[in-house]
Structure 1
């Protein structure tokens, strides 16, 4: 590679870091350690590391180099080694010992140089609906897109993408998951992301304000508190949002950071009542509790990821009307996420970051 080529790559990588930090700082595009970006050069895929935050792309070392050829060979053979992608990290260029994103196989499936994967709430509000593909046909008309039905992140999702991928496709809407855009330059990827998000944008239903005094009363002596992000209350105060949330889990990161489904209090029930019932059933205390007409309470030790996903739930459900027919994750899909080693690793990193991180 010439000096000029090296300089061009460095400039493009710097551009990717800037774009990563920008989207990572927007809670309507990325929540906590979710989302990931990548750049390819000479057979190496530089991808965001598992558990790191895109918002910190300009200040922290968050990218890890992965050798693409052996990784793609493993994907082709459906080799479990492709799941973690740790075996394909180029150690000499990874002094921080970072672990590749759980979505590394997804990025490797796209032929473009730049890949950006976000959990855009406007996209998710469509992607969790049973009629998602029909909606997308109208909203994304004239674009090179594909809808990929839900598959567990990692190797199953990579295979699902390969089944739907056609020449020229640069936009993927992932069922019950999010959005992927790809391009040959960072500038083109950023422009494409903006264009798709604009096409999928939809009104946000305004919710009544939280009744904080009532919430403090039902939280008394329970180990629960108000959420750090006031926007999270909307899923409790808005009856339509609460009804949708009560139906089950809508996307993977909700399961990982808040647990499967949503716990909704009955009339007159307190947080202490709910935790006592959970203990009696041998279940952990829920990360969050929805109180219809009042708002939301978070467990005192709720992590930064849980806080971010509590707000995300409010943002997604507020964009789903009465005509929406949600496609919830099944019990089996919830279970495979919770039992998956790659996600347990992300949970561990999130808990180490500590509650209250923003």
Structure 2
């Protein structure tokens, strides 16, 4: 492999690992990064963890101009395996088309907690207009990831920053360093301190969970979803972003009518299924981190039942959910 390509991929891997190690930027297998080198788009494979980028080969080479030409001709490019340049068993990210269509050489897509806490609000455009003043940004209302999101982003060309409603943040630049700086700037401008919450009633949780498939959460932050009335209201508002639906199920499950990985006991705290996956645990913490940054009475936009059904019945997400780190 050409030395310049090796260096560029190493830079992307280092940045990817940094993002993947920060739960406020990326959770579990969420998020994806890419770099365009000649006519090849190197992009994170579906279901892989950005945190592993320096330890494992998680990037897939995709024929860039061929994919873009197919999109321009009106083809469905969501299933991009036919554009992969080698015989790897890895699948390119479900967001490959979005990365390919953005003009920036480097594209970073993250599920930034500070961004999500704004992107799930009805008044997100107004908040963003104040916070991101002076930056080249746009807001994209929620559409399903994959082909619909690629089409929505392509319909708004010429921006460096794409805040994705009920989803996350995408930035593009000519270098890895510039893209990371831009992402950091957006996250810092949108950052708010998490709201403190009452302590959990571990004794009550343990008594309720005794003899069941659940145990009290050991991550103290998760209990705020049930002990803080504002966080509980956020959780009860519905599914706020795609990975919540994929890894925790639709909406918020409350005890005792719960089969999901996370179950809330209002006023007491959170219970977790004993068999909850690492991805489910990461998404439960993400929900707690997001909810703790949404102020009381904020007008929220939740995914519709049709949105949830589209995600749950989507083969690409079934594949991603089935992979293990």
**What TM-score results when the alignment is normalised by the length of structure 1?**
0.88
Instruction: Report what 1:235 is aligned to.
Output: 225
Instruction: Report what 1:52 is aligned to.
Output: 48
2:101 and 2:154 in contact (8 A); partners too: yes
Instruction: Report what 2:78 is aligned to.
Output: 83
- Distance apart, 1:300 and its partner CA: 1.4
- Distance apart, 1:228 and its partner CA: 4.8
**SS state at 1:65 partner:** strand
**SS state at 1:263 partner:** coil
1:68 equivalent among 49, 53, 64: 64
Instruction: Report what 1:41 is aligned to.
Output: 37
Cα distance in 2 between the residues matched to 1:73 and 1:155: 14
- Distance apart, 1:51 and its partner CA: 0.5
1:246 and 1:264 in contact (8 A); partners too: no
* 1:238-249 equivalent positions in 2, closer than 5 A: 238-249=228-239
Instruction: Report what 1:101 is aligned to.
Output: 93
Cα distance in 1 between the residues matched to 2:309 and 2:194: 31
Instruction: Report what 1:301 is aligned to.
Output: 275
**SS state at 2:196 partner:** coil
- Distance apart, 1:299 and its partner CA: 1.3
Instruction: Report what 1:280 is aligned to.
Output: none
- Distance apart, 1:257 and its partner CA: 0.2
1:146 and 1:165 in contact (8 A); partners too: no
- Distance apart, 1:74 and its partner CA: 2.6
Unmatched segments (≥5 aa) in structure 2? none
Instruction: Report what 1:180 is aligned to.
Output: 170
Cα distance in 1 between the residues matched to 2:33 and 2:220: 29
* 1:1-358 equivalent positions in 2, closer than 5 A: 6-80=2-76, 82-91=77-86, 94=88, 97-166=89-158, 169-265=159-255, 271=256, 274-275=257-258, 285-350=259-324, 353=325
2:30 and 2:111 in contact (8 A); partners too: yes
Q: How many residues align?
A: 325
- The structure where helix makes up a greater share of residues is 1
- Distance apart, 1:204 and its partner CA: 1.1
- Distance apart, 1:13 and its partner CA: 1.6
Unmatched segments (≥5 aa) in structure 1? 266-270, 276-284, 354-358
**SS state at 1:16 partner:** helix
Cα distance in 1 between the residues matched to 2:240 and 2:218: 22
Task: State the Cα deviation string for residues 48-105 of structure 1 (Å, max 9, x = none).
Answer: 000100001110111001111221123234423x11211111125x3xx211011111
Query: Structure 1 pair 228/110, CA: closer, same or farther in 2 (3 Å)?
Result: farther
Task: State the Cα deviation string for residues 203-228 of structure 1 (Å, max 9, x = none).
Answer: 21111222222111111111011335
2:98 and 2:154 in contact (8 A); partners too: no
Cα distance in 2 between the residues matched to 1:149 and 1:78: 22
1:228 and 1:307 in contact (8 A); partners too: no
Cα distance in 2 between the residues matched to 1:26 and 1:89: 29
Task: State the Cα deviation string for residues 256-308 of structure 1 (Å, max 9, x = none).
Answer: 0000101123xxxxx4xx25xxxxxxxxx222111112111111111111100
- Distance apart, 1:7 and its partner CA: 2.9
In angstroms, what is the RMSD of aligned CA positions? Answer: 1.4
Q: Which range moves more in the overlay, 67-76 or 226-235?
A: 226-235
Cα distance in 2 between the residues matched to 1:125 and 1:255: 16
1:12 and 1:185 in contact (8 A); partners too: no
Cα distance in 1 between the residues matched to 2:248 and 2:49: 18
